[in-house]
Structure 1
Amino acid sequence: MSRSERKIDHIRHALGHDRDFHNHFDDMDIVHQSLAQLDFDQLSIDAQVGELNLSSPLFVNAMTGGGGEKTEEINRKIAEVASRTGIGMAVGSQMSALKNPEERTTYEVVRRVNPEGIVFANIGSEGTIEQAEEAVEMLQADALQIHINTLQEMIMPEGDRDFTQRLEKIERILNGISVPVIIKEVGYGMSRETVKTLKSLGVSYIDVGGRGGTNFSKVENMRRQKPLASYNNWGIPTPVSVLEARENHPDIHIIGSGGIRNGLDGVKAMVLGAQAFGMAGALLRVLLDEGEQALEDEILHIHHEVKVAMMLLNITNVNQFKDQPYVLYGKTKEWVDQRLRR
């Protein structure tokens, strides 16, 4: 199967598989504050994530590209909506375009229709500094995501098996590229040990990419003759991973993603310590099922949800979500008690 065919296969399986029955954001409540003293119409959701100035803490996380006309059309529509709503957007892995120039247009369309927007390039951790530079140039990108997806590669029939040069390659890109570099998981979350290692390399931006959203173990298992189904529930849930990532690392810029269903889930991620939040599969489903206008309406609705939370916590800045009072229940509390409070 070619890379472009695999891209289409991924979209089909990602939209078709069942999500986890339990979402760990439901193990968390934010403590309500009754005495709001703000004007809703004056609230701003501008977000600061290190060097990145965002007009919204929400961005469309990496999804697609490199699969011919269908993925180009998806990226074009998302980029148009991102332009109208003022949110950032990441593309899917650009490795296919780096290896086959005919696929470049499936990514370049994003910058063409959204010339002033915040756009993230994306390559795998096997990428070289030359490939990283080309990926950024392809989009005139504001930042670069490097995705790490060990388990997905292990289950993928044609996946990589040798990761011995991974850290060395990440470090070379960090030292050689001029835009912020975000290390991103793809649905398995990051532990505090992982973040400690990344920080030692010089990483200052991570996207925890926790368990709870698109499950690439299930996606790849659908493509195997004999599935490795025992790994379908592997990974660290997103709210837990945000807490793991910030443990002893106050200078790391954290993005929460993985299973965020709405604006309130995004707010919960920011209360736990994220500075922004990404959504992918949930937004793609709206686009493909209902169209561009429905996607735009959904994004504006998420913005509204974020502002409602600001009113209920009496804060004027989304960066003030961090460390607002909250309580945890169930499996999430058990994890925190065993890992982070002893």
Structure 2
Amino acid sequence: MSRAQRKIDHIRHALSHERELHNHFDDIEIIHQSLARLDFNQLRIDMKVGELNLSSPLFVNAMTGGGGEETKAINRDLALVARETGIGMAVGSQMSAIKNVEERHTYAIVRQMNPEGFIFANVGSEASLDQAEQAVDMIQADALQIHVNTLQELIMPEGDRNFTQRLDNIQRIVSSIELPVIVKEVGYGMSMETIETLQQIGVRYIDVGGRGGTNFSKVENMRRERPFASFNNWGIPTPASILETAGSGLHVFASGGIRNGLDGAKALVLGAEGFGMAGSLLRVLVNDGINSLIEEVAHIHHEMKMVMMLMNAAVPHELKGQPYILLGHTKEWYDQRIQ
């Protein structure tokens, strides 16, 4: 199967498979504060995360590209939504366009549609420094994501099997590229051990990419004659993975299973500085169109600001450390791993 066809398969399977019955963000309850002291209309959601100046904690996380006109159309529409709502946007892995120049237009469309927007380039951890630089140049990116996806590769019939150089690749890119580099998982979460290793090689930004959103074990298993179904529930749920970052000093983004502005606010309360959404946004776009997705982003922002109002947080950073309790699986995880 060609790489382009695989990209289209990923989109189709990601839209069709069912999410987990339990969302681990339901294990977090923010403690209500009755005495509001702010003006809702004066709340601000723009923020600075390290070197990144963002107009919102929310961004469209990496989804697609490299699958011909179908993926180009998706990236075009997502870029238009990002432009109209002022949120950042990451493209999917650009390795396909680096290896086949005919696919570059499926990514370049994002910058064409959103010339002033904040855009993340994206490569896999197999990328060389030269390939990372090509990805950045291809879309005039403001930052670079490096995704790590070991289990997805192992389940993927045509996936990689040799990971001996991956950490060296990441270190070389982080130390050489002037733009901020975010190392991200793709749905399996990051442990404190992984985070410590990344910090030791100079990484300053991570996206924990936890379990709970698009499940790439299931996506890849749908493409196998004999699936490795025993790995369909592998990984660290997103709230637990955010908790694993405690005390690291890294700039943390959260993604994986964030459904709405309340979940996004919970991620910020736990310690993240921004949150990405992918599959849930794509579903609105595909089913209901661009205008509906623009309205959805506005609704997510409004929900997040409602939490800020209830917590007397004038800016998103002030949500960090607000009082909360943990329930269920996340509480058990915290007790055994974090406390």
Q: TM-score range by the shorter chain?
A: over 0.9
Paired with 2:323 and 2:289, the residues of 1 have a C-alpha distance of 38
Gaps of 5+ in 1: none
The C-alpha deviation readout for 1:19-57, integer Å capped at 9, x for no partner, is: 011111001100111111111111110122111010100
State the 1:229 CA deviation. 0.2
Hey, what does 1:113 align to over in structure 2? 113
**Match of residue 47 from structure 1:** 47
Does 2:171 align with 1:171?
yes
Comparing 159-168 with 46-55, greater Cα deviation is found at 46-55
Q: Which residue of 2 aligns with 1:215?
A: 215
Q: What's 2:279 paired with?
A: 281
| CA distance in 2: counterparts of 1:292 and 1:105, whole angstroms | 20
**Alignment partner of 1:7 is 2:7:** yes
1:262 is matched with: 260
Identity of aligned residues (%): 69
Please state how far the C-alpha of 1:315 moved relative to its aligned partner: 1.2
Partners of 2:313 and 2:191 lie apart in 1 by 30
Q: How far apart are 1:16 and its partner, in Å? A: 0.5
| Unmatched 5+ stretches in structure 2 | none
Amino acid at match of 1:254: V
Aligned AA for 1:232?
N
Aligned to 2:34, the other structure's residue is in SS state coil
- Once residues 28 and 277 of structure 1 are traced to their aligned partners in structure 2, the CA distance between those partners, rounded to angstroms, is 16
TM-score with structure 2 length normalisation? Answer: 0.99
Please name the residue that 2:301 is paired with: 303
For 1:307 and 1:323, the matched residues in 2 are separated by 16
Which residue does 1:77 correspond to in 2? 77
Check the 8 A contact 1:47/1:276 in 2, yes or no: no
Rounded to whole Å, the distance in 1 between the matches of 2:91 and 2:145 is: 9
Alignment of 1:135-146 (within 5 A): 135-146=135-146
User: Alpha-carbon deviation of 1:118?
Assistant: 0.3
Partner of 2:206: 206
Counterpart-to-counterpart distance in 1, 2:125 and 2:81: 29
Verify the 8 A CA contact 1:20 1:212 in the aligned structure 2: yes
- The whole-number CA distance in structure 2 between the counterparts of 1:172 and 1:210 is 25
Instruction: Give the AA of the match of 1:292.
Output: I
The 2-side partners of 1:208 and 1:225 are apart by: 30
Contact 1:44–1:316 (CA under 8 A) maintained in structure 2: yes
Q: RMSD value over aligned CA atoms?
A: 0.5
**1:220-231 → structure 2 map (5 Å cutoff):** 220-231=220-231
Aligned pair count? 339
Q: How much has 1:11 moved relative to structure 2?
A: 0.3
Partner SS for 2:160: coil
> Secondary structure of 1:48's partner?
strand
Partner residue of 1:316?
314
Scaled by the length of structure 1, the TM-score of the pair is 0.99
Residue in structure 1 matched with residue 147 of structure 2 by the alignment: 147
> Which digits, 9 at most, give the CA deviation of each residue in 1:175-206, with x for residues without a partner?
11110000000000000000000000000000
